[in-house]
Amino acid sequence: MRLAAKIISEKLVQGNHFGQRVGYGAEFEQYRHYEIGDDLKRLDWKLFARSGKYLIKESPIESNLHVKLILDLSGSMNYEEDQISRVSYAKVLLASIAYLAFKQGDSLSLYFLVDGKVKQVTSAGSKGFQMILYNLETAKARGAWQVRKGSFPELKSRERELVIMASDFLQSESEWTDIVKSMVHPKKQLWLFQILGAQEMEMNLKGNRRFIDLESGESVHADAGQLVKTYNQKMKEYLDDLDHNLNLPKVELIRVKMQESIVQLLNRVLNQNSIN
């Protein structure tokens, strides 16, 4: 897992990182109004002499934030397509992000969603990187996620952090959207990686097939050709509905096909997003 994460991360364009915040540094970026508690040394006294305004100089500095990794380990994560396992894809994706954050000096923690419960695997800190890799490598997806709405205080911190969640976000009712909505906070930014197979997103199968529910184990035989139109319509409706429900402040839903290179995916995401 460490080797995969290292190779992927080192293939990324140099300079990619999780973002910057504005603070006190050497390079001037912008002004903002003085607030109680600000260091008076940061006031622009020359500007005050000219304008009478109390303005603070700010500059961009590298952020040291908490990166919270969350992996869905419900049974549907065992789905495979083109010899690619969804849970393996998710593990390597999170390991690669953990490697980037570790090299940047950010604090890391890892959580599993399994058997209807939230399991904190590692505590927040910059020294748990090896434990994160070990637990990702040995984790097994199994069982079903509870449909009923649950309360998960472990995910409801109010600290500044980047939350990265890997799941298929396939739900019977609103179980996954409820969890996401419970985590939304002005100080937090959420990147939700919805990992799907190409056939899941738009089925074009033909012939008699056996379809298996990876969470309940139930199966059914059917003519795939007769199901294509209805399935594709319902899947499109579901994905559109998910887009609508997760169109929330500081929440980014990133839909990715398992066939996409993780290097290309991370390049795309890091170039399009920054942490404020």
What pLDDT shows up at residue 22?
43
Give the containing element (helix H, strand E) for 190: strand 188-196
pTM greater than the 0.85 cutoff: no
DSSP characters over 64-126: --EEEEEEE-SGGGG-EETTEEHHHHHHHHHHHHHHHHHHHT-EEEEEEEETTEEEEEEEEES
Of 261, 274, 192, 259, nearest in space to 8 by CA: 261
Give the domain 66-272 fold.
Rossmann fold (3.40.50)
What pLDDT shows up at residue 201?
96
- Residues 170-192 as b/e (b if ≥16 CB within 10 A, e otherwise) read bbeeebbbbbbeebbbeebbbbb
Which amino acid is residue 40, in one-letter code?
L
Q: pLDDT per position in the chain (276 positions), as tens?
A: 777 777 777 776 455 556 554 444 444 456 667 766 666 777 788 888 888 888 876 554 445 678 999 999 999 999 999 999 999 999 999 999 998 888 888 889 999 999 889 999 998 876 788 999 999 999 999 998 887 777 788 888 888 899 999 999 999 899 999 999 999 999 899 999 999 999 999 999 999 999 999 988 899 999 999 999 999 999 999 999 999 999 999 999 999 999 999 999 998 888 787 555
What pLDDT shows up at residue 42?
72
- Please state the domain extents for the chain: 24-61, 66-272
